Structure formats: structure tokens, C-alpha cells
Structure 1
Amino acid sequence: MLHFELVTPERLVRSDEVYMVTVPGADGDFAVLEGHAPFMSTIRDGDVLVQKTQGGAPETIAIRGGFAEVNARGLTVLAEHTG
């Protein structure tokens, strides 16, 4: 499982173990699974898609701006705003 955190300047929005997260990167959408290579990306306004299980229906979380970081601990999305 992938550890996923969604954070805004105001609060921790989500911290969960999930199967896959698709992020609206500045250069296009990218999907992150457990074991993904480390990297950082700016993100554009759009929807983060969170799949709790393989083949499961994704949950959609609208975000505006920010950064995404993938490291050995998982994926952290630092969004300017959600909703």
C-alpha cells in the first residue's frame, strides 16, 4: 500500500494507506503506486484521484495549485486549496 497525505496550509486533509493516486501535474497527470521512484512536481488546478483498492472506484478531491513529493515514505500533496 502507498501512504498518501494531502495537506493545505490550514490543515492535514487526508492521511491514508491507498492503492494508487493520480495527480494533476504541471506537465500532465501522473499516477503513483507503492514503490514509485522519488521525485517532486508542481501541480496544476484539477482533481486528485484516490483509489483505495486495485480496480476500485476512485475518490475525487478537487485541488488548486501546489506541489507533490514522492519519497520512500509515500506521496505528499501540498495543495494551496482543496474543494
Structure 2
Amino acid sequence: MADLHFELVTPDRLVMSDDVHMVVVPGTEGQSGIMAGHAPYMTTLRNGDIAVYRSATGQPETIAVTGGFAEVSERGLTVLAESAGETA
């Protein structure tokens, strides 16, 4: 399957822009796993960790986020967060 283009943006900076295997976002109604080909989707975020999987078998990188929105479109997944911490 093709990679998912993922961008994480805060008011201060572009935190990440990369092609990845999957991203799990902490939505207000639960966690959502997003992969390439996902249907258009939008959710508000709760404070928590985004998990970025660069490959199907790799361990995720986690990035703490507070508030914001996540949108899936034909361009990929864009997360607009109020703030984002360091990757782990």
C-alpha cells in the first residue's frame, strides 16, 4: 500500500512533514488509526500522544499534542495542534 503523507503543524512551526505507514491520533471520541486511502475524515483532538509508524513493522514515534484538529483528505493527514512536544 502507498504511504500516507502526514503533516503536524502548530501556530509556531511545522513539526513534521513526511510520508509514513500509519498515524494514530487522539480524537475526542477515541483514537483513530489513519493509513493511506482512508476516507475523508475530520475530528477534534484531545490532549494526548500521536503515534507515527514509519513502517508496518516498526515501533511508533510519539509526539505529545494539546488540542486542535485532524483532517484526512486526498492529500493525506494534516494535524493542526495548539502545541506539540518532542518526538520520542
TM-score, length-scaled by structure 1: 0.98
**Number of aligned residue pairs:** 83
Deviations 1:13-68 (A, max 9, x none): 10000000000000000000000000110000000000000021000000000000
User: Which structure 1 residue ranges, 4+ long, deviate > 3 Å from structure 2?
Assistant: none
Query: What are structure 1's unaligned runs of at least 5 residues?
Result: none
| Structure-2 residue corresponding to 1:75 | 77
1:11-22 equivalences under 5 Å are 11-22=13-24
1:58-69 equivalences under 5 Å are 58-69=60-71
TM-score, length-scaled by structure 2: 0.93
Query: Residue 36 of structure 1 aligns to a residue in which SS?
Result: coil
User: Alpha carbon RMSD of aligned pairs, Å?
Assistant: 0.4
Give me the identity figure in percent. 61
